[in-house]
Each structure stands twice: as structure tokens, then as C-alpha cells.
Amino acid sequence: MNLPERARVVVVGGGVIGTSVAYHLARQGVSDVVLLERDRLTAGTTWHAAGLMVTFGSLSETSTRMRQYTRDLYAGLESETGLSTGLRQCGFIELATDEGRLEEYRRVAAFNRHCGVDVHEISPAEVRALFPLARTDDVLAGFYVAEDGRANPVDVTMSLAKGARMRGVRVLEGVPVTGVLRRGDTVTGVRTPFGDIEAETVVNCAGMWARQLGEQAGVSIPLQAAEHYYLITEPIDGVSADLPVLEDPGAYGYFREETGGLMVGLFEGAAAPWRVDRVPDDFSFGTLPPDWDRMAPYLEAAMSRIPVTATAGVRTFFCGPESFTPDLAPIFGESPELRNYFVAAGLNSIGILTGGGIGRALAHWIAEGRPDVDVTGMHIDRLRPYQANRRYRAERTVEALGMVYQAHYPTRAMRSARDAKRSPLHDRLAVHRPYLRDVSGWEMPDVYGFTGSLSPTWGRPEYFEQWAAEHRAAREGVILMDMSFMAKFLVQGRDAADVLEELSANRVGTMGTVTYTQWLNEGGTIEADLTVTRLDEDRFWVVASDTAHRHVEARLRRHAGDRHAFVTDVTSGWAQLNVQGPGSRDLLAAVSPSDLSFPFRGAAEIEIGYARVLCLRITYVGELGYELYVPAEQAVHVYDTLVEAGAAAGLRHAGLKALASLRMEKGYRDYGHDIDNTDGVLEAGLGFAVALDKPAFVGRDAVLARKAAGPLTQRLVQVLVTDPKALLYHGEVIRRDGRDVGYVRAASYGHTLGGAVGLAMLATGGEPLDQAWLDGGELTVEVAGSVYPARASLRPLYDPTSARVRA
């Protein structure tokens, strides 16, 4: 085998994702690319994929745009390469057979239409007319996209590979990668049995082998293969290639034509992980023995939707492995462990229908140095190394695959692989009957005083009154929140100040001061949203959200490089207790002899009982309040002291539901939810946290250029629905005088404001977006097919002058 000695990019894996990345790199002008496939193209999962090409179904703009791009790419690829992708736009129908799914799909349909998907809600009779073999007596509605359909996965891959070759990419089959070359924290190439290839960038697109390939490089990729089934019948009268694809998640099945018969595909409620220890290296085009007994109930449920399938002959009952991730989102982007090592894997059965978009986005990232789509929900650095443990993968995969076809209620949380991480206060909080949820692996209270099973609902959850009481306690009295899951870093050294000033858009150098700031990229868009507190000349305290933990750490370490600045992750060593509300200062005064007169954003070490506590006067709920950072071994003592003194002050425990509603009323941002890596800091409404007059920081020039370009026409605003019955969650479309102007990115119920409140990125289409524009038209929000009046504000709807915060 004659291998090149070097390449700019080496792509590992010749499935649909690897060939798409290589093809799009070449389209980006990066032609010095080598794609290595250990066996033959399509080996592993791609060759047996069902090939659905569906744009409907996601409340993620990134995923929806990727689907649209992919469908359009497959439609035009043959004219470029001469090889068909097998795309047949025969239509797609999603069935809703219960009220919960009907509400979900109405919400999804409105959002998808906003993104340009031509989806229509159709009646059961219209479903029957389009798919005459389907039983529709229990169908409430269908959701139909005429331009969706199916593609041939092998044909798609071969066409992408040919398109890559035509642009100069070398595609080499029969070349396994046995290791990576590295220099320090940077990848420098790959090792194969036929020699080494030096490379600036390595891309792991190895599918269900990606975890094992990542282990060779010290990169954690928590995905797991699981059994996936479909049945193909003998030919059936009335079935033609133009029959739409039909999906019925309530019956665990999807259906499409296959050589005159029907493919009956299954996503069972409880899955079977496959080879948790290790996927065999030589398992290329293999199949797995079907477990008829386990799958019989699911198969019967699916076949009941198309009764003729129960009597038609069975040509094939297929079982093959596909890989799934802990949260059903792809694993995508540059790894936090190894610079220039990218991953695109763990597609959770949507590899074909997003393959073009995934490849385009990753190629752009590599070629341009940063992504041009929101990647916060799929970035590899959202995941933790322990999630690659065998026990975790074995337990979580059973549930994860089953989630594909479950209704995605807003109160639904993963139940498997729980109790992985506990706060030091876990046992103390248990006395107050918390309803616990998984917060990046931590067991944290959502609300207190509710320990029953939570019924799935799009309406008010059963703990609504407990939640409201906790919210009111923060506004009127004093609450205590355990926030120990927050990411905490100690940054020390003589160059620490320089490193943090370069990263931070705000000025972080004032001693004893908490600085709220963003970290930007060179394009002026947001990479992190956090606080930096200067404790001493060469010592800083950095606090970020749990979801941004590894992202912030990697960015900080890489920017520090070999300078005299040392980053220590102290998250597990320090508990965080937040004491918030108008009564917070009085409560602290009752337990501490220290001076508490320092101003808002001040920081001081104070005494509480036997402990010395880092006390920051800062809030995420919009009231007078304090964050207390306590060494883990003294956390229980400080907690007990606060609770004992709080009995006389009416102290109430509050959970994360209250945190969400309180911060949303104040319009506080949350990175990865309502702001992301595509947002300019000015459009996000965070210009007040940018010190443009300080020396250069990353992204400064881009922010200055945007400021000089004129008034903003797109901005993140606060939206309040004036009807208290409506509930917002995410993705609800906002209109001004009947025209779409944006959608809700994150929301909660505002118990003080008296209605659902959210943050939404709105765009005017050209004119300046100011308060006059918001007030000058009729604003409405669509919620599951119903339209509600709303009002919007650039300033916080609750305490716009922050008088309460600074009290």
C-alpha cells in the first residue's frame, strides 16, 4: 500500500459521515485530504441503514437546517458525480395517535415551517388517501411533507466519495488506523500498518468504532452500539415506489416501500446494547441474530398499523448494530483532550438524513477555524469521560434508543444511569423531599416537597404550586439553593491576569470584584458566558455553567499554553450554596460576624461557624443575594448553620425550576440554551459586559466592526405571553403583524409576571430593532396551533433598573 507521507486532513471512516466530511472539505477548498477506510466504503452501519430522508421532527434549528441541506444535496449530487443517491421524494407522514404527541407535533410543525419545511397537518382520511394500507381509526392527525422521502445509503456514500475524489481527495480502502501521532496536546497524524501519515487535523468518523478509536488518542467518545431491527415483507398488492414513508412512533414503527414490499422498521421502547466490551474490528458487513422473543411485542404493535404486513410473507428479519449517545445528540466537533482532533459520530439513526449537513458544518469548522452553526447541543465537550464507562453505556443505551420514539414531554428526564454524582449536601437535602433530576450527571433538586412520579404533560406539572411557592420566597423572603454542580476553576500564576484579560470581553482585573463576562471567538460570537473573580494579584476564581464545564476548561488551558498560568478544576472540591432574596443579608448577618457591607459584585472571605467561605455578592435570580463557596468537607456544617438560623427568617429551599423562572423573569442569559456560539455579543444584549476600551481581547475587532456597521436588526428580547394559560418551552414561533420574526429559544413560567416568559432572537428584516419597533406592531406567539398575544422588551420585564439587586 502506497500511502502519502502527509496530508492537511486525515478522515478516518468511509461511511456516509466520513465521505461527506471529505467531500465538503474539498468543496471548501481543502483538497489535501486523505480518507482511510479500514475495510470497504459503507462498512459498519451505513450499508444497512434504512435511508429515510426526513426534514420534519426536530426543535433544533441546527438539526433542521442540516436535514434540509442534506435533502437538497442528495437531490443534486447525481448531476455533479454521475452517480445516483437513490433519493425518491415520495413524501413523509408522521402519525399522532394521542393528545401528547399531537401537541408535540403541532409545536414542531410550527417551528419547522418557520425554518422552511413545508409541513401540513392532515386528517386521518387524508392519511388513508396517501397510504391506503394504513389503519387510521385511532389516528388524531398526520403531519405530511411532500418533498421528504428516502435515499439509498450505499448510493449516497459512493456518490459523495466520487465527488470527493473528483476534487482531489485520496480515498483509500483496506487501511485501518491503529493509533495517532501527537505532540503535547496536539494531534500530528495517524499510524497505520502501512506507515504513518502526518496531518494537521484528524477527523474520527468511525461510527460504532469511534469510541475505541478515540481511546487510542486519549479522547473520550461515549457512544454505544445497540441492536436495530427491521423486517422486509414479500411484495404486497398496492405497494409502489411512490408510497410515502410512514412513521408511527406510538406503535414503535416506520414503514417504507422496499422492492414491492414494505420495510417495517422498529425503535423499541427498551433496547439491547451490543458488545459493550468492544466492537470487533472485523465486523464490517455482519448481521446479528434476531431476538424474536424480545421483539415480538414491538413488531406486533407496528404491524397492527399496516394489517396486511401480518399476513404477507417475510423476506428478511434484519438485525444490525447502530450507535447511540447518552442524550441522543450527535458527538461533533474538536475534542477537549486533543487539539485538532475532530469527531463526527454517534448519529443515533439520523446519519443518512443529516449526513450532508454534518459534513458541511464540520468541513467549515476545520477550514475556517470555527463553526457557523449552533453546536452547543452536540459539541463533544458537553459529555463527560465517565459516560464512556461500560456500566453507564450498558444502562443508558437501553433507554436512549427507546427515547427515539417516545413523546418528548418537557418534564421528561433520563431515568437510567442515575446517581452518578452527588452534591456534598445530598443527604441533608433528602429530608426536604426533593424531586431530583439529572444535571450533567449530578442529582439535583428540581423542586422540594414533591417525590411522586411525574405525569407526562405539556400543561402545568403536578409540582406547579410548590414551584410557585419557591419562586415567591425568592422574591419576598430568602431561599437557599444548592448549586454545587456549577463548574469552578482556580487560575493562578504571574500570567493568569494576562490570560484572562485576553479571553474576557469585560475587564477582569479589579481586586475583590466579580466580573460578569463573555469569552468570544475571533468572529465576535460567544464561546462562554461566566464570571471571573480576582482574589489576589495572581489568583482568580472562574465559574461557568455545568454544560459549559469542559468547553471552558479546554479553552482556558489552550489559551494559557506554556505561560505561567495554571488551571485547576476545583468543581468537586467546593460546594456552592446560593442564599438569595431580600432577606439574604439578614440571614448571613445572623451566622457571620464578618463585614457584609460590600457592594454588588463584591467578593470577600467570610466566617460562617467553623468555616471560612468565599462569599460573592452576585445573583442569577434578580434579587439581593450571595453565592457561598465552601470547601466540600465543611459544606454540611455551613448548611446546617444556615438552616438553623433560617428557621426564624422563613428560609425556604428552592430548586432548579425556581432558578429557571426567576432568571427568565430578569432576562438573564444561559449559554447553550438562549445564547450560543453563533450569537454576536451585541445582538445577545450583552454589550454592557464588553469593555471595548481595554487592550485587545479575542473578538474585539469583530465587535468594533459590528458596532460601526449601524443599528442592530436582530436582537435577543424578552417575550411575555399575556394569557396566563399558555406555556412556553422552546421553539414557539413569534410573529409581528402576522409575519414570522423569530422563535423562543428558552422559556419558563413567570410567577411574578403572571404568564409564560421567554427569550427570543427576533429579526426585523432590515430596519433597526428597538423598543419602538417592538411596540409598533402586534406581537403573537403560536403554541401548538393556538395563537396568543404577547409583548416584548429589550429591558428586563422584572426590575428593569436592578434596584432590588443593588439594594
Q: Tell me: the pLDDT tens digits for 252-282?
A: 999 999 999 999 999 999 999 999 999 999 9
3-class secondary structure, 750: strand
Q: pLDDT (tens digit, 9 = 90+) per residue, 295-322?
A: 999 999 999 999 999 999 999 999 999 9
pLDDT of residue 451: 84
Q: Is the pLDDT of residue 453 over 90?
A: no
The C-alpha angle 781, 783, 784, rounded to 5 degrees, equals: 150
Q: What is the DSSP letter of 688?
A: G
Q: State percent of the chain over pLDDT 70.
A: 100
Q: Grid coordinates representing 629?
A: 463557596
Domain 6-368, what fold? FAD/NAD(P)-binding domain (3.50.50)
The per-residue pLDDT of the chain, averaged, comes to: 97
Average pLDDT over residues 441-458: 94
pLDDT band at 66 (very low <50, low <70, confident <90, very high): very high
Q: State percent of the chain over pLDDT 90.
A: 98
pLDDT of residue 79: 97
Q: How far apart are CA 630 and CA 740, in angstroms?
A: 48
Q: pLDDT (tens digit, 9 = 90+) per residue, 134-154?
A: 999 999 999 999 999 999 999
pLDDT of residue 31: 87
Q: Is the pLDDT of residue 292 over 90?
A: no
Q: How far apart are CA 44 and CA 211, in angstroms?
A: 14
Contact 609, 667 (CB under 8 A): no
Average pLDDT over residues 317-336: 97
pLDDT of residue 621: 98
DSSP secondary structure letters along 521-552? -TTSBEEEEEEEEEEETTEEEEEE-STTHHHH
Q: How far apart are CA 782 and CA 756, in angstroms?
A: 13
Phi, psi of 527 (to 5 degrees): -110, -25
Q: How far apart are CA 796 and CA 664, in angstroms?
A: 9
Strand-by-strand arrangement of the 574-580 sheet: 603-608, 611-616, 625-631, 574-580, 479-482, 652-653
Q: Is the pLDDT of residue 520 over 90?
A: yes
Residue 219 CB partners (closer than 8 Å, separation 6+): 204, 335, 337, 338, 341, 343
